[in-house]
Each structure stands twice: as C-alpha cells, then as structure tokens.
Chains A and B, each alone.
Chain A
C-alpha cells in the first residue's frame, strides 16, 4: 500500500517537472567509480542512482568497503567519478572542485586545524568566503552557542575532549550555512554514552537548522534512530532506500534483512500465491503465510525473513506454526531470546516477552512457535 502510494507520488512529482526539483537537494545518476584498471580494477561504485531530498536526514548505511564513503567524498568533491553525474539543486557539480561547492563535511577524524583556536576553526569557512570580520564574529558566537561551547572559544583544539572536538567540527561545517552537510562516521570515535547523546543532538540540530544531512555509518542502530531515510549499500550498489521502518520491517533483500537487526532467514518454496500473499512450504514441511514485497518474484524457491519479535512461544491451546527443540535461553530482563533448532536443522531465534513459567525450558525440550500474522516476508 505504502509503496504504491509512493509510486503515485513520484509520478505526480515527475509530471510537475521543475516543481519537484526544489524538493531534491542532491541527485546522482549512473555513478561509477573504478580504482585501477584491468585485472586489478576495484569497483567502488557500480552504477548508483540516488535522490536526497531537501531538509532530510539521509543515511548511507553499509559494511566497510561498500562504497558509502566514496559516494560521500564524491558529493564533497574529493573524488571524481569515473562516469555519471551529480547535481545539487539541479546544477551539475560533478567536476566542480570542493571549494566551489556549497557543501560542508564533518570528517571522521574531525580534521580540526591544530594551529587555530576553536573560534578560528569555526570561522575559517566564512573567512575563505570573504565575509567581513564583524559578520564572522557574530556567526561564530551563534555557532558556539548552538553547540554549547561558548567558554571554549579561545582554546586550542588539542585541549578539548573527543566530544567537544566533535562539536567544533560540527559547528565549523555548519557555520557557512551549507546547502548540504556531509557527515562521515562522525560518532565512531566516541564512547557509547557520548555517542547516544550526540545522536539525539545531531537529530535535533538537523531539525533546527533545516539543512540536509547526509550521514555515513556502518552502525545500523545509529541509522535507524536518526534517519528520515536510509540507503543500504553493499559492494558498490544500493540495495534498498526507504524510511527506517521500511528497511527494518519490510526489507526486500536478504542482505538488508540480515544486516539490520536480528532476523531468522528460512528456506522454502511457494506453494500458492494470491496477490502479494503467498503460502510457503518450509523445509521441515510447515506451511506459512508470507507477504511478497513489491518487485520481488514470489514463486519457486524463496527465502523467508521473520524478526525474532514477530514470533513467540505458542500457548498450550494454540496451534503452533512451527516447532523446534530448545538449545539456549538468553535472559534480557524485559524479554528472553530463545534459540531453537527446527526440524530442518535451521536455527530459529524468537523474542518472548511474556512469562515463561508455563514452559519446559530444559535443553532439548520441544516447543511450539506462534507467528504474528503478516510479519513473515519473502526476500529477493
């Protein structure tokens, strides 16, 4: 339903012509980046198309080496694509050098200038743009207030903590009011608690400034909590673009399902289908109803994805969709994760949040599994 709505919306926008241009901040078409030639060629990006809308928090998510940083560096202007085109607000910026693009970057290492004070760092971009000293001072003060570092204006950057350096890097990149802010795994160097705080701060900063954020990370949790939309990448290709709920609950690709959160992937074959719903026979003989997402072929041998929280232990009076022998129980307080071995030999993890008193939890006991209707999905 949602997918259909989106398609209609896209078609309307395309008809509107110039009208929709305003809503797309960055648009890349057929981007290819190849390092080296011949036998030793490394394909960092293979024909990537992407549209990043204005004012959105957009995340490029994927394991290291998937091409997310290469894509970011191309938008920043540090790399030229081998072929393809990048537009910013409808203007071709593919070959424009970095200093001519109204795009700023927060580097993974922060890249603060060690020979300048905090204030000088933040004011650098404005100085290069030729703004007057008074303008720069005013803007630097506002940025310092925004990241709560007023007291640190005249410190050297090496006297700051990791979290403070991170804020300076952010303020420095935001000071010239870029059209797009690029963030290259900016939270990777922070400890867990600080990272959680900065996630919230970044998100509210984005809402406050209304600037388009393009965020690169390999941390799926970070991506899910902060983003308006996520592009999941692997080996130089974009596998799926969508809102966090789309990506998490409606993955279309086996890799996406596996990469984001815990998931059970079961092999099976389609027995019958009706519309976007299919009956799938698993290897141990059980037949399960599953949704077939848009663009996925729902016939023959398929893989099924079921989140642990979409399953629970079947009650004594319920008919179980599946059953397995218990191997392990991991207690998490609010819920328990039960590791079961299905008749097919496949492992199945479920998250049970109710009481467990009624069940025999000794290793090797056979337990029934109940599934939430409509949560099992066929993967590409």
Chain B
C-alpha cells in the first residue's frame, strides 16, 4: 500500500468517525437546542417588548419590564417611585432557598453519614428509602405535607388529642410552612450526593484521627467534613437552585399569599398578562442561577485540582 493510499485510509476513517458522531449526537442536541435553548433567546427578546392586552406581546421595544422590577410609575404624572415589592420577593426567595439549603444540610449530613457507615447489604435498602421520595411526584408530596400541617391536619389533631395544645397551630400559608415544605421536598437532593461522597470515604482516616488524639467533634470537622466537601457543595447547589425557582411548594403551602419568584413569574404569564415582565423576572432568576453555578464550577475545579 502506498503512502497516498494509507493517508486516504486515515482520512476516510477520520471522516467516518466524524460523520457517525454528528449523526448520533444530532437528534439529542438538536431537540434541546430547539426546545430548551432557543426559547431562552425568545425570552430575552420578549423581555424588551410591550405586553399584549390578552397575554402575549406587542412588537414594540420597551425597557419597561426591567424598570418595573424596581420602580413604580405613577398613573397620573408618570414619575417613577422606588417600589421594593418585587425586590422583596426575590430576597425572600433567596432567603428561603438558602435556609432550606442549610436545613437540609443539617438534617441530611447525619443521615447520609449514618447510611454510609451501615453494612453494605443494609445500605442498599436505606438508599432505596431515600431515593423513593426523590422520584415521587413533588406535587403529591407537597399535597401530602399540606394534609399533615393544616389546622385540622394530622399533626394538629394528634397534638390536640394528646392534650398538648388546645388550639391548632396555624402553620399553613406562612413562611414557616413554605420553609418546611422546601426542606421536605429537597432533603433527598441533599442526602444523595452527600452519601456518594461519604461512601467513598476511607474510614481508616477516621481511625487515624482518633489515634492522633482528635475528639469526635474534631474528627468530624477536621477529617470527615473536608473529605466530604465535594458532596456538600453538590448537595447545596442541588437544593439551592431548584429551591430558588420553586413553584409548587409556595403555591400550595404559601397559599398564593407568600410568593416566591417562581409564582411571581407564572402569574405574569397567567392572570397578570405581562409576558415581558415575566420574561425579565425569569432572566434575572437565571442570572442568579448562573452566578451560583459559576461559583460552584470554580469550587469544584479547585477541589479537583487540590486532589488531582
């Protein structure tokens, strides 16, 4: 075989591999580009348009959506006054999502650690117990929570039957209810990555820690927690991001009174019929998420470098 023929064979093999790759990747990438990424572009465009009377948009350029986020236009003289209402919703959402993140971490870490230190056979079963709610419909889980914490719900009735309280605790439709709901919903999202990290932990290191005179708390904070850091970071991101965009939990447990960003955006596309403002709010939410993801990517990268 001459050199020319061989290089032709090389070129042919390379071209065939490239074609196969393109053909195989094509459908998945195309579907997501068209149905998930292109719409984000449309949203950017919509956020600079004027709301249509019956929903949708009118094709007139406007920055009103972004102005409306912080200011209110006086109906009579058209002057702008600072309006913190929407900003408050954003801040409350961030606060609730952050609180849920800390809450799930405090509950999830001991749980994941407990499972990871079980004998292998039992671990699978415990993991199954955690995974099951993870794949159970969030709407139904939230509804179940609503049944429990209602004024005439399971908890209040039990407590009253036991004569611990005389009047039902009014939890439903408060920030507390939303907070509890978020923790309940996203707890498995925290436990699973934590478990993945703790399962790989070499417990001889724990023994070494004790051997070197560390107390339980010192071993936990100086040996186990640093080694489980990738899992802690992943779990926090997995709880914070969906928590920030939560819709169902505040909708059912906040009773539409205690809004979070998700509900506010949905309302703009529903009863408020202000698509540009809804689009702008969604983009601001996305910007928040991208910032969190970038911080995460940097933290994960540092982690990988430190251990690489």
Is there direct touching of A and B in the complex, by C-beta distance under 8 Å? yes
Task: Tell me which residues across on chain B come within 8 A of A83, comparing CB atoms.
Answer: 3, 6
The answer to whether the Cβ of B287 comes within 8 Å of any Cβ in the partner chain is no
CB of A294 to closest CB in B, whole Å: 32
CB closest chain-A residue, reference B9: A95
B1-41 residues at the A interface, CB under 8 angstroms: 1, 3, 5-6, 9-10, 13
For residue B5, which residue of chain A has the nearest CB? A95
Of all chain A residues, the one with the shortest Cβ separation from B13 is A80
| Contact assessment for A85 and B13 in the assembled complex, using a CB-CB cutoff below 8 Å | no
Interface status of A297 (Cβ within 8 A of chain B):
no
Q: Which of A334-362 contact B (CB under 8 A)?
A: none
Interface-central residue, A85, A94, A95, by most chain B CB under 10 Å: A95
Cβ contact within 8 Å between B1 and A92: yes
A83 to B5, CA, bound (A): 10
Cα–Cα, bound, A95→B5 (Å): 9
Residues of A within 8 A of B3 (CB): 83
Q: Does A81 contact B (CB under 8 A)?
A: yes
In the bound assembly, the distance between CA atoms of A165 and B221 in angstroms comes to 49
* Residues of chain A lying within 8 A (CB to CB) of residue B5: 95
User: Which B residues touch A85, using CB under 8 A?
Assistant: 1
Tell me, in angstroms, the Cα distance from A92 to B13 when the chains sit together: 18
Alpha-carbon distance A85/B6, docked complex (angstroms): 9
Enumerate chain A residues within 8 angstroms of B1, measured Cβ to Cβ: 85, 92, 94-95
Within 8 A of A (CB), among B42-89: none
Q: Which residues of A contact B10 (CB under 8 A)?
A: 80
Closest Cβ of chain B to A324, distance in Å, is: 49
Kindly identify, within residues 75 to 102 of chain A, every residue whose CB is under 8 Å from any CB belonging to chain B.
Answer: 80-81, 83-85, 92, 94-95
Tell me how far the C-beta of A77 lies from the nearest C-beta in chain B, rounded to whole angstroms: 11
Compute how far the CA of A45 lies from the CA of B246 in the bound complex, rounded to whole angstroms. Answer: 59
How many Å from the CB of A65 to the closest CB on chain B?
Answer: 23
Interface residues of B in 87-106 (CB under 8 A from A): none
B1, B3, B13 interface centre (most CB from chain A within 10 Å): B1
Give the distance in Å from the alpha carbon of A94 to the alpha carbon of B3 in the complex.
11
Size range of the chain A interface in the assembly: under 10
Chain B count of residues within 8 A CB distance of the other chain: 7
Distance in angstroms between the alpha carbons of A80 and B13 in the assembled complex: 9
Chain B residues near A94: list those with CB within 8 A.
1, 6, 9
- List, in ascending order, chain B residues with CB within 8 A of A92's CB: 1
Q: How far is the CA of A95 from the CA of B8 in the complex (A)?
A: 10
A83 to chain B, nearest CB (A): 6
Q: In whole angstroms, how far apart are the Cα atoms of A92 and B10 in the complex?
A: 16
Closest CB-CB distance, A264 to chain B, in whole Å?
45
Q: How far is the CA of A85 from the CA of B2 in the complex (A)?
A: 8
The complex places the Cα of A94 from the Cα of B13 at a distance, in Å, of 13
A85 to chain B, nearest CB (A): 5
Residues in chain B near residue A84, CB distance under 8 A:
6
In the complex, what residue of chain A is closest to B8 when comparing beta carbons?
A95
Give the shortest distance, in Å, between B1 (CB) and chain A (any CB): 4
Alpha-carbon gap, A85 to B9, bound state (A): 13
**In the complex, per-residue mask of A289-318: 1 if CB is within 8 Å of any chain B CB, else 0:** 000000000000000000000000000000
Distance (whole angstroms) from the CB of A265 to the closest CB of chain B: 41
Q: Collect the chain A residues with CB atoms within 8 Å of residue B13's CB.
A: 80
- Min Cβ gap B8→A in Å is 8
Q: How far does the alpha carbon of A95 sit from the alpha carbon of B6 in the complex, in Å? A: 7
Residue of B nearest to A95 (CB): B9
Closest to A87 in B: B1
Using CB atoms, name the residue of chain A closest to B3: A83
Residues of A within 8 A of B9 (CB): 80, 94-95
A81 to B6, CA, bound (A): 8
Please, which residue of chain B has its CB at the minimum distance from the CB of A86? B1
**Complex CA distance for A80 and B3, rounded to whole angstroms:** 12
Q: Complex Cα distance A81/B2, Å?
A: 12
Cα-based distance from A83 to B13 in the complex (angstroms): 15
Q: How far is the CB of A91 from the nearest CB of chain B, in Å?
A: 11
A94 to B8, CA, bound (A): 12
A326 to chain B, nearest CB (A): 46
Chain B residues within 8 Å of A80, by CB = 6, 9-10, 13
Query: Which residue of B has the minimal Cβ distance to A96?
Result: B9
CA distance A148 to B282 in the complex (A): 70
| Bound Cα distance from A228 to B9, whole angstroms | 34
Task: Determine the distance from Cα of A83 to Cα of B10 in the docked complex, in whole angstroms.
Answer: 10
Residues in B whose Cβ lies below 8 Å from that of A81 = 6
Residue of A nearest to B7 (CB): A83
Which residue of chain B has its CB nearest to the CB of A84?
B6
- Measured CB to CB, the nearest residue on chain A to B1 is A94
- Say how far A130's CB is from chain B's closest CB, in angstroms: 24
Closest Cβ of chain A to B181, distance in Å, is: 46
Within the assembled complex, what's the spacing in Å between the Cα atoms of A83 and B3?
Answer: 6
Contacts of B6 in A (CB 8 A): 80-81, 83-84, 94-95
Report the Cα distance A94→B5, complex, angstroms: 10
- Measured CA separation A80–B10 after assembly (Å): 7
Q: Complex Cα distance A80/B9, Å?
A: 8
Which residues does chain B contribute within 8 Å of A95, judged by CB atoms?
1, 5-6, 9
Expressed in whole angstroms, the minimum distance between the Cβ of B127 and any Cβ of chain A is 25
Cβ distance B17 to chain A, nearest Cβ, rounded Å: 12
Q: List 16 A-B contacts (CB under 8 A).
A: A80-B6, A80-B10, A80-B13, A81-B6, A83-B3, A83-B6, A84-B6, A85-B1, A92-B1, A94-B1, A94-B6, A94-B9, A95-B1, A95-B5, A95-B6, A95-B9
Q: Which 8 A-B pairs have the closest CB atoms?
A: A95-B9, A94-B1, A92-B1, A85-B1, A83-B3, A80-B10, A83-B6, A80-B9
Other 14 A-B pairs with CB < 8 A, given A81-B6, A92-B1, A95-B5: A80-B6, A80-B9, A80-B10, A80-B13, A83-B3, A83-B6, A84-B6, A85-B1, A94-B1, A94-B6, A94-B9, A95-B1, A95-B6, A95-B9
